[in-house]
Amino acid sequence: MHNFNSGPSILPQEVLTEAAEAIHNFNHTGLSILEIGHRTNWFGEVMTEARYLVKEFMQLGDDHEVLFLHGGATAQFMQAPMNLLDTDETAAYCDNGIWGSKAIKEARLFGNVNVVSSSKDKKHTYIPKDFFVPEDSKYLHYTTNNTVEGTQWHHIPATTVPLVADMSSDIFSRPMEFSKFALIYAGAQKNIGAAGVNLVVVKKEVLGKVKRPIPTIMDYGNHIEAGSLLNTPPVFAVYVSMLTMRWIKKEGGLEEMEKRSRQRAEFFYNALDTLPLFKPIVAIEDRSWMNAVFIIEKPELEKQFLEQCKENGMIGIKGHRSVGGLRVSMYNALPICSLEALVDLMKEFNNKFA
């Protein structure tokens, strides 16, 4: 199979093999990873290594804490402003797609939202570069990679206010100045591991400042104090994330992931740019290296193309229901040979129908 799913998505084969083994016999304990206590040393070591690897990849010091929490990235749309934004304060948000819009909706429940930049005018097919963030904004929130629309920020927005970012779909695909961020969150199921857990990286100095009472489980501070073991974490999902991070490290870390991402993206967009039948719809400089969104010039052929993909073991190519068209997701674990197979099929289809 060639897996172009947008999420949950492809994982390295060796991670799957090891995770499968751990379901039967975790680390030679004779027990399944699914039946050991989260407060055992066994799981404690998994959690410690997972948190450590995140810090290593992101080159973070003691100012930042790493948590693995429940609820997916969607819960972070709510939990972030609950912890960071007071009722009478204003946070700046970039509206660059469906996920950013959802984050804005949740933030409005907790304080004022100033949408400082929006790409709505062009159906989110680009990333606006020139926009103004008032100095007194509590933070600036943006989505580093717009999974559905296929755009990606290739720079960190220049601002003096604390940065908050949803990195769900491009986390660990490239090195970044992660220490610049006050808060980073990412659902694991795109580029880190299995569904059911999200990664949260928070700068301690931004916490404990809002006046509202925060429910125990929602308070980042409580999770930090408990070493990300405040209640039962999604044990298996954390384990798979740890295995994937081990794999990333072994393969050469974020520098190597970036090299591969660039290689995949250049190869695939080059095909889209040269085959007349297929048309990328995103501004060239903002193209996502993770999710390529495109259309077929003759829309009536879309169904047939998707059927041919399926016949050839290529799955996950249909675009998100909100934008239609086609989307190819090229996450860390996708081998370039999958894209080569797809491009061969596209060439054939192009020659037949263009």
Ligand X SMILES: *Cc1c(COP(=O)(O)O)cnc(C)c1O
Q: From the CB of 297, what's the least distance to ligand X, in Å?
A: 27
Site string for ligand X, 159-188 (x = CB under 6 A): -------x-xx-----------------x-
Radius of gyration, CA atoms only, the chain: 21
Q: Number of residues in contact with ligand X, rule: CB under 6 A? A: 12
Question: x/- binding map, residues 86-115, to ligand X, per CB under 6 A?
Answer: -------------x----------------
Q: Is 81 exposed, middle or buried (0-12, 13-18, 19+ CB in 10 A)?
A: buried
**Which ranges of the chain would DSSP assign to H, the alpha helix?**
13-24, 41-58, 72-84, 98-107, 220-225, 235-251, 253-274, 302-311, 336-353
Stretch that binds ligand X, among 72-80, 104-112, 225-233, 305-313 (CB under 6 A): 72-80
Question: How far is it, in rounded angstroms, from Cα 337 to Cα 287?
Answer: 21
136 catalytic? Reply is: no
Q: Which of 9, 96, 143, 152 is close enough to bind ligand X by CB under 6 A? A: 143
Residue 74 touching ligand X (CB under 6 A): yes
> Omega into 8 within 30° of 0, i.e. cis?
yes
Amino acid at 31: L
Residue number, 169 or 173, with CB nearest to ligand X:
169
Judged by beta carbon, residue 79 or residue 143, the one nearer ligand X is 143
Catalytic residue among 190, 203, 219, 318: 190
> What is the distance of C-alpha 159 from the center of its chain?
22
Residue 65 to residue 227: CA distance in whole angstroms: 9
Question: Of 91, 97, 118, 153, which is closest to residue 285 (Cα–Cα)?
Answer: 153
CB count within 10 Å of CB 248 equals 23
Cα separation, 101 vs 123, in Å, equals 12
- Judged by beta carbon, residue 67 or residue 271, the one nearer ligand X is 67
- For this structure, is 249 an active site residue? no
Shortest CB 238 distance to ligand X, Å:
15
Q: Based on the number of CB atoms within 10 Å of its own CB, is 312 exposed (0-12), middle (13-18) or buried (19 or more)?
A: middle
Q: Is 99 a catalytic residue?
A: yes
Q: Which of residues 7-66 bind ligand X (CB under 6 A)?
A: 7
Q: How far apart are CA 150 and CA 182, in angstroms?
A: 25
Cβ nearer to ligand X, comparing 257 with 277? 257
Closest separation in Å from C-beta 99 to ligand X: 4
What is the closest distance, in whole angstroms, from the C-beta atom of residue 202 to ligand X in the complex? Answer: 17
Please list the active-site residues.
99, 166, 190
Binding site for ligand X (CB under 6 A): 7, 72-74, 99, 143, 147, 166, 168-169, 187, 190
